[in-house]
Amino acid sequence: MSAMRERGTEGKGGAEIALPPATDSVDSNRATISGDVADVAGLLQAQPARRDDLIAELHRSRGNAFVQQVLATLDSKGHDEKEEPGLLWDRQGAGSGFSETRNSADSSKKQEKDRRPKSERLAEASDNATYRAMNTQLKLLAYELGAAGKKLTQDLGFSTAKTKADKAEIAETDARLMVTIHHLDDMARDTAKQLTDLNTAKMEPRLEDGAQALSAALDEFAPVVEKVDAWWTSYMGDTDSWEVLGRSRGILNLLLPKLAPKAKPLTAAERSPGSMQDDAINAHLDAAIAAAESAKSGNAILHKDRIILHAKDLAELLKNHARVEGQLGTRIKTLITLVDQVIVNDPWVKRSVDEAIDPIRNVK
């Protein structure tokens, strides 16, 4: 194989992350951990031996957004303020060894939840928006697998190579195949990394729909893989690895049950050209705005990195997607205004945020 065709191994899927341990040993302490973020952070510092049990109870009774604020507060207390934090994109999830989970409070607690501090409610809204965007991202990967399957089949059909001696035609066909496969590899790699950086919980329910669509897309893509492998074997003597398969299987191992994972193909509307790209653009823009609102309300440590994550994805999606001008301008301005307010007093993160935001500042 030529150097151009080198790719990562198939087995490098998304990392699986353990859920917080369940515990029944803290029932008598629920009144003790009902204070605000600062109170709870102080309690965890004072009782390190019971930290895991207390946090498990907090996940159950106060929700993930509150737990993330507490962990971020603990992390900030131990942070050396003279140390430049560098690019937050490389520090996503620092300071927390616990997975993110959906707030499990049922509808009967809505009135109680509404009385929480604004910063806590905005943190939860940002968390939910992030996972809506990632669910859409999984569906976009499923769509791209379907589109790539058609393109690869077409490229094989256009090949006029008859024997291994037709080296020029073989090289040309192989180059066309690799452009499509590299695109899939890059997308699957980025998606798996983001899920890991977000400390995504195993079988995260907010991502189930997207995972089912990805599972169905992999099933539909399997015959195409067989055809490409057969062509490689016939004309090039061996096959190459498919990183997209390893990454996607790693994602499914994280998000779907081990036994009989359900597959749910994309709908006809979702399969239409441009539909999933539009959905992903809107979802990432909404999530970036929600993260900026949360950061502005006092959750800066927790959600500035999410601004960067969604802004980067938004910029990438807008690069090669035709759309009607004027649809995003107002919301982009809202995001820019919020971001400028968030970073005005925090020069440490200004460079990282600017690098993510600058490519979309003038989008209309």
Which two tokens mark 302? Answer: 């927790």
The per-residue pLDDT for 314 is 92
Band (223; pLDDT cuts 50, 70, 90): very high
Residue 224's pLDDT band (cuts 50, 70, 90): very high
Q: Given this model, what pLDDT does residue 15 score?
A: 39
CB 134 within 8 A of CB 194: yes
Output the pLDDT for position 73.
74
343/295 Cα distance (integer angstroms): 9
Instruction: For 26-77, write each residue's pLDDT tens digit.
Output: 443 444 476 777 778 878 787 777 877 787 777 667 766 677 777 777 766 5
The tally of CA atoms less than 13 A away on the side-chain side of residue 213 is 23
80-101 average pLDDT score: 35
The yes-or-no verdict on residue 87 having pLDDT over 50 is no
- In sequence order, the 6+-apart residues with CB closer than 8 A to the CB of 20 are 52, 55, 56, 59, 98, 99, 101
User: Which residue in this structure is represented by tokens 């990632």?
Assistant: 134
Residue with tokens 């151009």: 4
Q: Write down the domain spans for the chain.
A: 21-96, 133-271, 275-360
pLDDT higher than threshold 90 for residue 97: no
pLDDT at position 131: 96
* pTM (global) more than 0.85: no
CA distance 46 to 328: 48
pLDDT for 182 beyond 50:
yes
Amino acid 206: pLDDT: 95
Query: What kind and span of H or E run contains 292?
Result: helix 275-296
**Stretch 124-141: mean pLDDT:** 96
Give the per-residue pLDDT at 323: 66
Mean pLDDT of 185-192: 96
| pLDDT classification of 266: cutoffs 50, 70, 90 | very high
The neighbour count for residue 48, using CB atoms within 10 Å, is: 9
> Which of 213-217, 262-266, 280-284 is least confident?
262-266
Q: Above 80 in pLDDT, residue 237?
A: yes
Whole-number average pLDDT of the chain: 78
